[in-house]
């Protein structure tokens, strides 16, 4: 095993475990507040480390930067973290990571960047089949309906991230990926703070609960490992292997997320989850060609536009 293979395993492991960190955080504090705390820390670090973060807003780019930052970071993580209150962490990781390339492919067709082919149709069909398997029987009980609503939020978050990624591409001809990432982190921090203040009445006790072990460790893992360590490794692998091969974490991290959720939280791993996972991962495979718009990064872990990823 080479160093790069070891780094790939580390990256896939980290991005598979970020879903545990999110679940730990939102179990103690409101979801948008937890997301805002994460992005505030990320924005502060990037504002210091990336000198051109504010320049991304200049030259008439501000409207697109704000809109895409709102899609990538505000809508994505407000929806994702809210939905994960009601959805097993492993299922959320599977849906986000496996559905992302399918969404990117669908949007590429819609925007005229790709021609519709049987490969596209099969990818979309498998992705939808996987979702149907996960949603099956969810509306037959009140608890199931709540979980279904959470799944809808996770799917919507994935689509929002994909749309923001597609709309951001013109900006990458004018600013560097790190500059755009820094600008989007600023938009994310401000927007998520606004969402939290508007929708989540937070008491002093809840503010202090962020400092309790579970959410604090979850926040530290997301910022240090999920964002900076895993991203550094990802960029090294993109340089060494190319984005398509580096993006194969999308087939490893969901499995890590499912297993970790079962081990840590006792989340179910039944036939329905297995069928949904197989269908969605197969769809993701068809939606990840050698080149093109289906290159991804994870929604839960990630800053946008170092490539197109969520976790």
pLDDT at 76 over 90: yes
Q: Is 74 or 310 the better-scoring residue by pLDDT?
A: 74
Average pLDDT over residues 205-216: 84
Instruction: Give yes or no for residue 286 having a pLDDT over 90.
Output: no
Provide the pLDDT confidence category of residue 303 given band limits of 50, 70 and 90.
Answer: very low
Distance CA 264, CA 208 (A): 24
Q: Over the stretch 149-197, which tens digit does the pLDDT of each residue have?
A: 999 999 999 999 989 988 888 888 888 888 888 899 999 999 999 999 9
8 Å CB contact between 65 and 183? yes
292 exposed, middle or buried (CB, 10 Å; 0-12, 13-18, 19+)? middle
**pLDDT recorded at residue 23:** 95
Residue 10 confidence class, pLDDT cut points 50, 70, 90:
very high
Residues 182, 184, 187, 190, Cα dihedral to 10°: -60
* Confidence (pLDDT) at 243: 67
Percent of the chain at pLDDT above 90?
34
Mean pLDDT of 286-294: 53
More confident residue, 304 or 157: 157
Four-point Cα dihedral 119, 122, 128, 132, nearest 10: -160
- Contact between 167 and 64 (Cβ < 8 Å): yes
Give residue-wise pLDDT tens across range 219-266: 999 999 988 898 888 878 877 887 667 777 878 888 889 899 999 999
CA 301 – CA 299 distance, rounded (Å)? 6
By C-alpha distance, which of 165, 307, 157 is closest to 243?
Answer: 307
- Whether 210 shows a pLDDT value over 80: the answer reads yes
Q: Is the pLDDT reported for residue 279 higher than 60?
A: yes
Identify the pLDDT of residue 292: 42
Of residues 21 and 285, more confidence is placed in: 21
Per-residue pLDDT, 131: 80
Q: What is the pLDDT of residue 64?
A: 94
Global pTM? 0.84
Share of the chain above pLDDT 70, in %: 88
Residue 135, burial from CB neighbour count under 10 angstroms (0-12, 13-18, 19+): middle
Q: How many CB atoms lie within 10 A of CB 215?
A: 21
Domain-wise residue ranges, the chain: 3-286
Confidence band for 212, pLDDT divided at 50, 70 and 90: confident
Residues 6+ apart with CB under 8 A from 6: none
Residues 110-161: tens digit of each pLDDT: 887 777 777 778 877 887 888 878 777 665 566 677 888 999 999 999 999 9
Residue 81 confidence (pLDDT) above 80: yes
Mean pLDDT, rounded, of the chain? 83
Closest CA to 166 of 36, 67, 254: 67
What's the DSSP call for residue 150?
H
**Rounded CA gap, 107 and 186, in Å?**
26
Average pLDDT over residues 191-213: 86
The pair phi, psi for residue 268, each rounded to 5°, is: -70, 145
22-38 tens-digit pLDDT: 999 998 899 999 999 99
pLDDT of residue 172: 81
């Amino acid at each position: 095993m080479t160093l790069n293979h070891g780094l790939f395993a580390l990256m896939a492991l980290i991005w598979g475990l970020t879903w545990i960190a999110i679940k730990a955080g939102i179990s103690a504090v409101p979801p948008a507040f937890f997301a805002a705390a994460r992005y505030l820390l990320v924005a502060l670090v990037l504002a210091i480390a990336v000198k051109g973060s504010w320049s991304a807003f200049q030259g008439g780019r501000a409207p697109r930067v704000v809109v895409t930052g709102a899609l990538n970071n505000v809508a994505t993580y407000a929806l994702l973290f809210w939905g994960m209150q009601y959805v097993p962490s492993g299922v959320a990781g599977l849906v986000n990571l496996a559905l992302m390339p399918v969404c990117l492919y669908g949007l590429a067709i819609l925007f005229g960047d790709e021609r519709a082919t049987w490969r596209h149709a099969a990818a979309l069909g498998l992705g939808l089949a996987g979702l149907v398997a996960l949603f099956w029987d969810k509306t037959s009980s009140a608890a199931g309906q709540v979980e279904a609503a959470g799944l809808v939020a996770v799917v919507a978050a994935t689509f929002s991230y994909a749309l923001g990624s597609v709309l951001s591409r013109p900006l990458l001809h004018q600013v560097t990926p790190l500059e755009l990432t820094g600008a989007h982190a600023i938009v994310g921090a401000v927007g998520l703070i606004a969402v939290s203040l508007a929708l989540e009445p937070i008491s002093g006790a809840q503010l202090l609960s962020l400092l309790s072990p579970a959410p604090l460790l979850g926040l530290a893992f997301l910022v240090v490992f999920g964002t900076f360590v895993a991203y550094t490794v990802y960029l090294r692998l993109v340089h060494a292997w190319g984005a398509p091969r580096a993006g194969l974490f999308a087939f490893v991290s969901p499995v890590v997320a499912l297993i970790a959720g079962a081990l840590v939280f006792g989340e179910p791993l039944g036939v329905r989850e297995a069928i949904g996972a197989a269908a969605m991962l197969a769809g993701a495979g068809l939606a990840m060609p050698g080149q093109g718009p289906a290159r991804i990064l994870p929604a839960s872990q990630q800053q946008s536009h170092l490539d197109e990823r969520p976790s």
